[in-house]
Amino acid sequence: MKSKPRRTRSPGPAASAAPALPEGATERTARAVPPTQPSRRLDVFANPAKERDYLIRFVIPEFTCLCPLTGQPDFAHFTIDMVADKVCIELKSLKLYCWSYRDVGAFHEKVTNDIVDDIVRATDPRFVRITAKWNVRGGIYTNVVAEHRQKGWKAPVAIELPPAD
């Protein structure tokens, strides 16, 4: 039985060292345009349980922006706690929104408060709090907590339950 010749990678200086591709396989190439782009738009969807106060917690462990003075990257761990009213934030839009800060120079305090303001504009939540834990800069860690409460909204009293047996 005669075997078919295998397809190999593009010829070039390292072609002889590259392994052959399996029969029928094609080499993956980079897209001309990435499938998604950073965006400052926060998409929303209808709150499925607007009659109830419930906590939505977004954890963003890899938030990045730039130091406005040095241009060096600043890294933070964001926790966004939100009690939605009529609408909730769609997760992919939140991811792309956070990504949009990657090349933006901003002080920790400003970027944290700007994000609270953008969430309030997009969703008008009953409550939102961002806890931003910034990595060390100049030997100092910075934590910024910013929040917003809808006028007249009061948090329900938490119920303390005994530990499960």
Dihedral of CA atoms 42, 89, 130, 155 in degrees, nearest 10, equals 140
pLDDT tens for each residue of 60-73: 999 999 999 999 99
CA distances from residue 41 to 32, 111, 115, 137 in whole angstroms, order as listed: 23, 16, 11, 29
- CB count within 10 Å of CB 49 equals 9
Residues tagged active-site: 67, 74
In sequence order, which ranges of 6-157 are alpha helices (DSSP H)? 91-99, 108-123
- Whether the pTM exceeds 0.85: the reply is no
In the chain, where the domains are located: 44-149
Q: Domain 44-149 adopts which CATH fold? A: GTP Cyclohydrolase I, domain 2 (3.30.1130)
Per-residue pLDDT of 77-95, as tens digits, reads: 999 999 999 999 999 999 9
